[in-house]
Structure 1
């Protein structure tokens, strides 16, 4: 059954005061409390801190956003509620990912079918064409994937350029990823599924963005940064950086 925005609005009214007091706006609090969210998603909230993370982006009701490389749709579902019926979410799942695993295609189809303000995008990286006038492009734990060996060496540069073109002036590009050791650049992307924060800053700024802020909310100092993020010893406990870029006005 599709979630109703009336339910989300009611939740927002009930939770507005504590949400503002905690620093997480009511639109995001309501989205997190939506009964349509799968139990498997809510079980991950303590580790992923979606309320604080989305508050950091500044996403508002009515915004037009892209969940770039949406994976299983964890953040797509939250963003749908956060922007509300007057906003829109474009869920992008690269065709290359769908070709690798049918589960990615199913996730894209299922989320788009369940949420009336979500539009699926499934082009290959090389053919990515985002809608214009975006307020936010949001990508979590997937920036490094654009540097995997199967993809062209200029994939990240082309995607960053497309994002810059499609965002409004003043729009936000939020990048979260698993941290690699300083000085390692993009090399760990293919072997460890990590990337050096300095490499991301350099690439995104080269597209025209300005780094506005970064947050330590997902930092994990105990992470040695040398294990593959899927290794049981570190999975779910990696050191992650959060970078907030803005397109100049």
Structure 2
């Protein structure tokens, strides 16, 4: 997790406010789900969405989110799981869809094992967001011009490819931020390598559904 100033800046950038409906896709340990739950308050709602593609992981991601939803004060959290492309049927229209360090996985064999592609998922997000809703993507940057070639090997993706794919689904780029940029990252090392883990060059995009 980032330091508190960056966490606060990311939440502001995403446009999550009191009363917002947020979908947190592939929530991991649930850190962002908890943060969003605190921000949206009793009038808002947070869907902690675990893709069925990863639901059988040994750490029981669905069970973990169901446990999180039972924590005191988390009545506004709902743990849900479905195939990625079925996300619109498992949630209600949302103000913000949050995708943190996961977009690149849409181009890996693991996530595509049920047939979902990045294009399919982007269309599903477009369907689920309210008009004016925000699709926020944070991910590990790959070298410029590399496209999607490093998604499987390095868990990185070229920001330009993400923009192209998301805009093809009908979204408009509303803002981007360099708050997580790291000019010293050579983009040639796997993101889990100890020399770069937690310090990768990351891009932050906010797309809007017109």
- TM-score, normalised relative to structure 2: 0.92
The separation in 1 between residues aligned to 2:52 and 2:34, in whole angstroms, is 20
8 Å CA contact 1:130, 1:163 repeated in 2: no
Q: Decide which of 201, 205, 210 is 1:239's aligned counterpart.
A: 201
| Structure 1 pair 215–246 and aligned structure 2 pair: CA distance change class (3 A) | same
- Within 5 Å, give how 1:34-183 maps onto structure 2: 44-46=1-3, 49-114=6-71, 115-128=74-87, 129-150=89-110, 151=112, 154-183=116-145
Q: Write the mapping of 1:190-205 to structure 2, written as runs, cut at 5 A.
A: 190-205=152-167
Q: Deviations over 1:85-140 (max 9, x none)?
A: 00000011112212133342332222222211111111122433343421100111
More strand by share: 2
Match of 2:191 in 1: 229
Counterpart contact for 1:48–1:218, Cα < 8 Å: no
Please tell me whether residue 207 in structure 1 is matched to residue 169 in structure 2: yes
Matched, 1:188 2:176: no
C-alpha separation in 1, matches of 2:5 and 2:187 = 18
Question: How many residues get paired?
Answer: 205
Q: 1:103/1:130 Cα in 2 relative to 1: closer, same or farther (>3 Å)?
A: closer
Counterparts of 1:146 and 1:47 in 2: how far apart (Å)? 29
Tell me, in whole angstroms, the C-alpha distance in 1 between the residues paired with 2:194 and 2:25: 26
CA distance in 2, matches of 1:88, 1:132: 10
Of the two, which has the highest radius of gyration?
1
Are residues 130 and 160 of structure 1, via their aligned partners in 2, closer, same or farther at CA, if it must alter by over 3 Å?
A: farther
By relative contact order (CA 8 Å, sep 6+), the higher-ranking structure is: 2
Instruction: Structure 2 unaligned segments of length 5 or more: list them.
Output: none
Root-mean-square deviation (CA, aligned residues, Å) is 1.6
2: CA distance between counterparts of 1:142 and 1:155? 13
4+ residue runs over 3 A deviation: none
Unaligned runs of 5+ in 1: 1-43
- Rounded to whole Å, the distance in 2 between the matches of 1:158 and 1:133 is 18
Tell me the TM-score normalised to structure 1 length: 0.78
